[in-house]
Amino acid sequence: MARKKIALIGSGQIGGTLAHLAGLKELGDIVMFDIADGIPQGKALDIAESSPVDGFDAKLSGTTGYEAIEGADVCIVTAGVPRKPGMSRDDLLGINLKVMQQVGAGIAKYAPNAFVICITNPLDAMVWALQKFSGLPRNKVCGMAGVLDSARFRYFIAEELDVSVEDVTAFVLGGHGDTMVPLTRYSSVGGISLDDVVSMGWMSQEKLDQIVQRTRDGGAEIVGLLKTGSAFYAPAASAIMMAESYLKDKKRVLPCAAALKGEYGLDDMYVGVPTIIGENGVEKVIEIDLDIAEREEFDKSVNSVKGLMEACKGIDASLA
């Protein structure tokens, strides 16, 4: 059986880490694309040279021409610019929207059957635009954010309770921004919901509230520390999990920015919801019950994503 082909559109911090992880996990052959000539070629060769040491077989190549992504099974998109300290994700919209237009055309021409995972910010608006620019089926284009936001939430909870990260599940809903909605009711430690963890006296409500806020600010915390860019290890690991679920038809239940067609009372937009990812891409959007307070927070988050979509329409009339 031929190896799968993974195209990484954008070979910066996240793109390089994606290539390394995809190699280590033997997900397939890897093509790194970027407009900065030399970067994708150099990173691909460097990672390829690590393969005898780590013992993985994958062909890695770097390119500045879209034709090299031809026939890709998965495209992971990080092309664009990241945040600098003091910037919000939304400040990136104008530049990255133009990048999505180019990327969408490249994927439509050379990899129309791929499963596309967008990471470029502001995530929910960019993945929505990328789907429109590429014209690929909506179930084959999704955005990575929920796996990362949930991973941050899980890590903070596990660290606080001094338990294994493996035994903490967490759930973050809504847009990938300051209004994201970490859902404590649907998050658990060894099956015990976080609300029960508080009522049992294992963690104080105040601490949980702090962790929820730290999760919301998780991206900014890293940007503040790095100063020259944004997080890349955890975002790459998260996207690789989604790609693996697709390539191996694992049907993992993962939060991701998915196209909604009536679910949660929303249409023609992308926002973070629980999904099942398998061989058909986003195979199902799971609709969970939200109480009044959760719904209010979700609606606030949805409205902020809608605002970004309107801004995109203002810049590019073809999206209207």
Structure tokens at 278: 């398998």
Instruction: Give, rounded to a whole angstrom, the gap between the first and last alpha carbons of the chain.
Output: 43
> Which residue out of 89, 176, 274, 277 is catalytically annotated?
176
Backbone angles phi, psi at 78, to 5 degrees: -125, 10
Q: Is residue 42 close enough to count as binding ligand A3D by CB under 6 A? A: no
Give the DSSP letter string of 161-228: HT--GGGEE--EEB-SSTT-EE-STT-EETTEEHHHHHHTTSS-HHHHHHHHHHHHTHHHHHHHHHSS
- 154 touches ligand A3D by CB under 6 A: no
Nearer to ligand A3D, 90 or 195 (CB): 90
Specify whether the CB–CB gap between 140 and 114 falls below 8 A: yes
Angle value at C-alpha 245, between 243 and 251, nearest 5 degrees: 145
Q: Is 10 in the site for ligand A3D (CB under 6 A)?
A: yes
Cβ neighbors of 86 (< 8 A, separation 6 or more) are: none
Query: Which C-beta is closer to ligand A3D: that of 233 or that of 261?
Result: 233
Binding to ligand A3D (CB under 6 A) within 216-235 occurs at 229-232, 235
Stretch of 117-125, 190-198, 199-207, 243-251 lying at the interface with ligand A3D (CB under 6 A): 117-125
Contact between 120 and ligand A3D by CB under 6 A: the answer reads yes
Residues β-bridged to residue 260: 269
Q: Measured from the CB atom, is 178 or 196 closer to ligand A3D?
A: 178
Residue 102 touches ligand A3D, criterion: CB under 6 A? yes
CB of 234 to ligand A3D, least distance (A): 8
> Which residues, including other chains, have CB under 8 Å from residue 274's CB and lie 6 or more apart?
146, 171, 173, 253, 254, 255, 285, 286, 288
Catalytic residue status for 176: yes
| Pick 222 or 260: Cβ nearer ligand A3D | 222
Work out whether 134 is an interface residue with ligand A3D (CB under 6 A): no
Asked whether position 74 contacts ligand A3D by CB under 6 A, the answer is no
Q: Is 39 in the site for ligand A3D (CB under 6 A)?
A: yes
Tokens of 275: 């999904």
Please report whether residue 188 would count as binding ligand A3D according to CB under 6 A. no
Whole-angstrom distance, CA of residue 187 vs CA of residue 178: 19
Binding site for ligand A3D (CB under 6 A): 9-15, 34-36, 39, 78-83, 92, 96, 99, 102, 119-121, 123, 144-145, 148, 176, 229-232, 235
